[in-house]
Amino acid sequence: MKRLLLVVIIGVSVVFPKVYSQGKVTSVQDSINMFYDRFFEELEANYLYRKSVNWSQIKPYIKKEALKGGTFEKSLEISSKLFDTIQGDHLLLFSEKGMYQSNLKRKIEQEDLHRNLLIAYSEELKFEAKVINDHYGYVFIPGMLLLNATEKELNERAQKIYDAILKLNKTQKIKGWIIDLRLNIGGNSNVMLAGLYHLIGDNTVSLYLDADKNVKNRSGLHNGIYYEDQKIQARVKTIAKPNTEIPVALITGVMTASAGEFVALGFRGRKNTVIIGEESYGLTTANDLFELPFKTKAAITLSYATDRSAVFTKSIKPQIEIVKEADFKDLTKDKNVIEAIKFIDSK
């Protein structure tokens, strides 16, 4: 699972005198020590910036702070301090009761937002595919965090996106596609990219760089299969040859983050493609999910992610900038969509 992000932090405090592990009763202190020992083991082995961290100094300090919490769940709150200390702005920790992240993330200020975007975000819009003005396919892809999904569930979600695109393609004469990522705050990019196979085709999607900015592995699509470093991450059953020539306009915004940005990276460099809107949030490092003790999981940053050029950019900058001009109620009045239609018609 890659590129996990949620904007809202959920704070939870639950009092448990004992923590149960594999049928055995363990003291809270032992549980906290066991958890952080394993967490540090994974960070020291995998974290992108691990060589620049003084682990021998940080580990005892963090464990000491964690033990002050009194409960296991409370001790997990110290992970945010850990992330800040090691400059891990994309690190995340998930438990059954909450999610913990760095305080170093870019702060979205009030002036960065606008009313229509906030309204649409509050309404929690779902995935949608439809036709605008008879000839323009519109695909809205929100954030999709499928933390505990099985392989079957991931594939089904990807198939839903793929099938919706093919259905419109069969019933309408589509001139081009508009992919709206403005409310895509992250989640499972493998699902999103596999679902968009019909428009990307058999191609490299992203390259991943190590701390020295050298290419270490890649992800791509082939016959509906999305893979990373030759490992299958998601797949769709295809029913038609991909259309990699049709014009595609992607719309990004200040809330387009992590997996949402990876979708844009997957299209950047594709022929007849443009990115419209506002500069994205800026979380284009790549995470993978690691199982930790006591039903916790950590998204650990492994690499820099790039498009096919292997040039890293922290955010996605649109080729055509449209600022604070959204209209989700009537897309025909949305200036981003209007500009996307102009681009499609020009091709």
Q: Look at residue 83 and tell me whether its pLDDT is greater than 70.
A: yes
What Rg, from alpha-carbon coordinates, does the chain have? 21
Q: What is the mean pLDDT of residues 111-129?
A: 92
Handedness of CA 42, 314, 216, 229 (dihedral sign): positive
What number is the average pLDDT over the span 253-281? Answer: 97
Span 332-339, average pLDDT: 98
Going 120 to 103 to 71 to 45, the CA torsion angle's sign is: positive
Write the Ramachandran bin of 264: left for phi over 0, alpha for psi from -120 to 50, otherwise beta: alpha
Average pLDDT over every residue of 177-185: 97
Paired tokens of 18: 């004992």
Range in 52-56, 110-114, 288-292, 302-306 with the lowest mean pLDDT: 110-114
* Whole-structure pTM value: 0.90
For residue 2, is pLDDT > 90?
A: no
Q: Is residue 182 over pLDDT 90? A: yes
pLDDT digits (tens, 9 = 90+) for 12-26: 222 223 334 444 546
Distance in angstroms (rounded) separating the CA atoms of residues 86 and 51: 11
Whether 274 and 341 have beta carbons less than 8 Å apart is answered as no
State pLDDT tens for residues 131-158: 999 999 999 999 998 888 899 999 999 9
Burial class (CB in 10 A: 0-12, 13-18, 19+), 91: buried
What value does the mean pLDDT take over residues 77-83?
97
Give percent of the chain above pLDDT 90: 85
**pLDDT per position as a tens digit, 284-293:** 999 999 999 9
Q: At what angle do helices 55-67 and 28-46 cross, to 10 degrees?
A: 150
In the chain, the percentage of residues whose pLDDT exceeds 70 is 93
- Asked if the model's pLDDT at residue 247 lies above 60, the reply is yes
What is the pLDDT confidence band of residue 114, given thresholds at 50, 70 and 90?
confident
pLDDT of 230 reads 85
Q: What is the pLDDT of residue 250?
A: 98
Element (H, E) at 80: helix 78-85
Q: What is the arithmetic mean of pLDDT over 92-107?
A: 92
Q: Position of tokens 């025909």?
A: 332
Averaged pLDDT of the chain: 91
pLDDT > 90? residue 238: yes
Per-residue model confidence (pLDDT) at position 24: 53
Q: Tens of pLDDT along 315-331?
A: 999 999 999 999 999 99
> CA 230 → CA 50, 178, 181, 227, 234, distances in Å?
25, 30, 27, 6, 12
What is the number of other CB atoms lying within 10 angstroms of the CB of residue 234?
Answer: 27
Domains, the chain, with CATH or none: 1-105+285-301 (3.30.750), 111-280+315-346 (3.90.226.10)
